[in-house]
Amino acid sequence: MNALLQQHLLYCYLLVGFLMPVKPVSALRHPLHVSTVDINLNPRSHKLEVICSIFTDDFEAALAKQSGSKIDLTLPALHNAMEEPVKKYTLGHLQVKANSKPAALAYIGFEHAKEIVNVYYESTVPIADLKGIEAEVSLLYDLYNDQSNIVHITVNGKRQSSKIDYPDRKVTRVF
């Protein structure tokens, strides 16, 4: 009796599965739209090191919207061609001030790591006696109105984190 009931339940599950609407693959990847920005003051060089971590599929969509062409950040053969769009987009959506002065950021590069793309920057000039950092972050705001950006700022081994939800852009930390 149990085997017969289980067989009928299996058929019911299969029938219901076929009748349910199919979501696009992109909707199944991740329901949250979130990126992170890590800003770290290197204790030896006194330069800011910045890492932007963005879901690959979202980042590719934002870059495609910006450039009007197909983007693929996962193919090693296209890596060099993707450097300029990655740099242009991230610099357009990230500004950092140190001690109330704009911190010039030098683009180091990007790497694809599983479902994330990490974009690396470093300040061009050492920052003496850091008193405060202001970050303006709007990564993926041009795609999603539910986007959140988590900003981690580490100075002298002390990490402070903030969450910025669309449409907010700024976070300020004083040390």
Please answer whether residues 133 and 97 qualify as being in contact, where contact means their C-beta atoms are separated by less than 8 angstroms: yes
Report pLDDT digits (tens) over 81-90.
Answer: 999 999 999 9
Report pLDDT digits (tens) over 89-136.
Answer: 999 999 999 999 999 999 999 999 989 999 999 999 999 889 999 999
- Look up the pTM and report it: 0.82
151: Cα within 13 Å, side-chain hemisphere: 22
Question: Which distant-in-sequence residues (6+ apart) come within 8 Å of 140 by Cβ?
Answer: 33, 35, 54, 58, 59, 62, 93, 147, 149
Q: Which two tokens stand for residue 125?
A: 């000039």
